[in-house]
Structure 1
Amino acid sequence: MSNVDTRQVNRDSLFLLAQLRVDGQDGLHRVKVRNLSSGGMMAEGDARVMRGSLVAVELRNIGWVEGTVAWKQDNRFGIAFVEEIDPKLARASAPAEGKGYESPRFTRNHQATKADSSRLRKI
């Protein structure tokens, strides 16, 4: 796609924290993901990048995605992904560990935890 074509791609505005690895630099940088589409994202942070830099970003529920810095302005920059992603995966909440519940045990209805009722003390 040309630069004009990519401006028409649907983007999800959101706020996520992500890890960024810049080719040729040691360490990871924490960046804020401001918007995300299947082909790229806008990030904000103090990472030292320039147009054309090779990067990899770790997105929640997706993992590491490789890309190239397409533009930079102040502390914001655009990343064009090498391969398309499903941006809705990053927006989904992380799966809970254990029994597969979506919310912490103390916030669930007591009916949802009938297996735990044997541990309740009767007064």
Structure 2
Amino acid sequence: MNDLLNIDNPASAKRGNNRDSLLLKAVLRFANVSEDREVRIRNLSAGGLMAEAPLRVARGEPVEIHLRSIGWISGHVAWVTEGRIGIAFDHPINPMDARKPVGQAELEMPNYLKKLNEPAAPIKYRRL
């Protein structure tokens, strides 16, 4: 039996357990290409990712990928197959950070609502 299909292989078991399946858009940048490419991330781990990318690139080529809530990550092309690309990161990331909502600035409360939330001024009574 082919060793890659053998579930008793600890390396393949470890790789499968650490991957997080998701669908996420990202921007991919190559060192020798002037334009960035949008790709769809299909799975993500601390050490790399698999993306749908109809590109012709060489294994080992340096890349940078921008993931929301994480930013730019450097790496290299680990493998390429028809319509998909594997990228190994130069440094591990926390893949759960990619699932965090993109930060939003805190909304300012309108003035008319601020007035409602202010403590009422004491009422001054006049003697008659």
TM-score by length of 2: 0.71
Flag structure 2 segments of 5+ consecutive residues without an equivalent.
1-9, 117-128
| Structure 1 unmatched runs, 5+ | 101-112
User: Are positions 1:116 and 2:122 aligned together?
Assistant: no
Tell me by how many angstroms 1:92 deviates.
1.1
Please report how far the alpha carbon of residue 51 of structure 1 lies from its aligned counterpart in structure 2 after TM superposition. Answer: 1.1
Instruction: Supply the distance in 1 between the matched residues of 2:63 and 2:106 (Cα, whole angstroms).
Output: 34
**Cα–Cα, structure 1 residues 24 and 6, in superposed 2: closer, same or farther, change >3 Å?**
farther
Following superposition, the deviation at residue 6 of structure 1 comes to 6.3
User: How far apart in 1 are the matches of 2:12 and 2:106?
Assistant: 41
Q: 2:51 aligns with which of 43, 54, 72?
A: 43
Q: Which is higher, the Rg of structure 1 or of structure 2?
A: 2
Partner of 1:23: 31
* Aligned 8 A contact 2:54 2:82 in 1: no
Asked if the contact 1:20/1:31 (under 8 Å) is kept, the reply is yes
* CA distance, structure 2, for counterparts of residue 87 and residue 77 of structure 1: 18
Query: What percent of counterpart residues are identical?
Result: 41
Determine helix, strand or coil for the equivalent of 1:8.
Answer: helix
Q: TM-score, normalised by structure 1?
A: 0.74
For residues 29-57 of structure 1, the C-alpha deviation after alignment (integer angstroms, 9 at most, x for no partner) is 00000000000000112333221111000
Aligned residues: 104
CA RMSD of aligned residues (A): 2.5
Alpha-carbon distance in structure 1 between the residues aligned to 2:34 and 2:23: 25
- Is the alpha carbon distance of 1:49 and 1:94 closer, same or farther for their aligned partners in structure 2, counting shifts above 3 Å? same
